[in-house]
Amino acid sequence: MHDNAPSVDQSGRLVPINLRQSGPTPVEMLIDTRVRKSPYWHLSHEAGCWRASVYNRMYHPRGYVRPEDGGAMVEYDALVNHVTMWNVAVERQIRVLGPDAADFVNFVITRDATKIPPMRARYVILCNEAGGILNDPVLLRISEEEYWFSLSDSDLMFWLQGINVGHRFDVEIAEIDVAPVQIQGPKSVDLMTDLFGPEVAELPPYGLLAGEVAGCQVIVSQTGFSGEKGYEIYLRDATLHAEVMWNAVLEAGRPHDLAVIAPAHHRRIAAGILSWGQDMDAETLPFQVNLGYQVPRTKEADYVGKAALEAARAALEAGDPPWTHTLVGLRLEGRPIDDYAPDFWLVSAEHGADPLGYVTSPWYSPELGTNIAMAHVPIGLSALGTTLWVHLPDKYADSPGVPVPAEVVSMPFRPSVNPNQREILHSRGLDAAV
């Protein structure tokens, strides 16, 4: 088979993502000026960061504890039992500022931006005209006329600026010098209270608070990427004040066993939190990945992608969805998956059969005592309890070259201490695609 030939039928896509074009490479990767360091990069290195990936064209720390010392599972233990700090400056902040900010934001997100009060945030998605997901940021409304998009891994700024080329809206759109860190874990509220006082403990989910750390101006949000209790600290003028704030947080965290770790993808998978570029992309409709709740029927205002999304919803209700694959949760056998997957591992309906789907985000769950994963599979194989077979690398397979059994299960895989909106809706039976 040609190296670029997809192993799974994805004829419904313009660019099949399962092209066997991910994974490690035998050549040395060139480091040049195309990739940027964040204001916290040298501080992450001082804290022990030994490897990184690239996210939003910035170096992104992906490991502090080396494998011989326990690796990512040691970082996981710090997250679920104590408190952790993550360098997430790769969440670039794109500000929309001006008299028409609310109308502009309402035009580019699927949810109703007018219902977001000042000093509140929301998880949102932005779609292209075909309904494909371009980005799934946290949106912070700082004031009546100011919003920040805290980005996932795609160049949203250029798209937002392109939307407004004709100056339809009276707004300024630009990246600003704001860099966040995440404070996550059960002791995060104690650490944050030491830094900001008792008011921060009263923040509701997605609530915002303006404050200071060692004289540095910040915005605090009660958000995170872990499913644990957590916050984000958005540092203003980050290129000037990164060291002061970072070290102040480290000092305040000493009594609480604060550890600097990488973003905990093993925990976010258990919480059913999606990662753009892994679990979805610009050719993925929200209904395929359990984000139907992000497309409310009640939003009367027009927005980019509305016609396509409403047509897709109507087709789904008629029993003829315009997509072939959907995202499911899997519990799978095999040896514990203890690191990032470098490729999309394939899924078959039967032992020895040709692949029909692919795993996007796998890891081992210590609490559940099993491997878990998100995967795109044909709709007809997505029912809970369906048995599938996953082609794991020999490192994790029970027997080299032999696929391991898996079962389709509900997501999230385990309850979250700090449930996201989809998890809340799921518990109420309200997160269906329609």
Give percent above pLDDT 90 in the chain. 85
Q: What is the pLDDT of residue 421?
A: 57
Strand, coil or helix: 371: strand
Residue 433 has pLDDT above 50, yes or no: no
Gap between the Cα atoms of 422 and 350, Å rounded: 31
Mean pLDDT within 137-158: 97
Coil/strand/helix, residue 230: strand
Q: What angle do CA 206, 210, 212 make, to 5 degrees?
A: 130
Give kind and range of the element (H or E) at residue 231: strand 230-236
Question: Residue 391: is it exposed, middle or buried by C-beta count within 10 angstroms (0-12/13-18/19+)?
Answer: middle
Cβ 150 vs Cβ 142: under 8 Å:
no
Q: pLDDT at residue 432 above 50? A: no
Can you count the helices (H) and strands (E) in the chain? Answer: 9, 21
Measured CA to CA, the distance from residue 434 to residue 9 in angstroms comes to: 26
Q: How confident is the model at residue 424 (pLDDT cuts 50, 70, 90)?
A: low
- Compute the mean pLDDT over every residue in the chain, rounded to the nearest whole number: 93
On the question of pLDDT at 157 being above 80, the answer is yes
Q: pLDDT, tens digit, for every residue of 35-75?
A: 999 999 999 999 999 999 999 999 999 999 999 999 999 99
Amino acid (one-letter) located at 424: I
Q: Please write the tens of the pLDDT for every residue from 91-133.
A: 999 999 999 999 999 999 999 999 999 999 999 999 999 999 9
Backbone angles phi, psi at 49, to 5 degrees: -55, 125
Given a cut of 70, whether residue 4 has pLDDT beyond it is no
pLDDT in tens, 378-398: 999 999 999 999 999 999 999
Instruction: Enumerate the β-bridge partners of residue 316.
Output: none
Q: How confident is the model at residue 21 (pLDDT cuts 50, 70, 90)?
A: confident
Whether 124 contacts 139, CB under 8 Å: yes
Which amino acid is residue 201, in one-letter code? Answer: A
pLDDT of residue 426: 54
Give the angle subtended at the CA of 52 by the CAs of 75 and 346, to the nearest 5°. 85
If pLDDT is split at 50, 70 and 90, which confidence band does 418 have? low
Enumerate domains of the chain plus CATH numbers.
Answer: 178-256 (3.30.1360.120), 321-427 (2.40.30.110)
pLDDT tens digits for 181-208?
Answer: 999 999 999 999 999 999 999 999 999 9
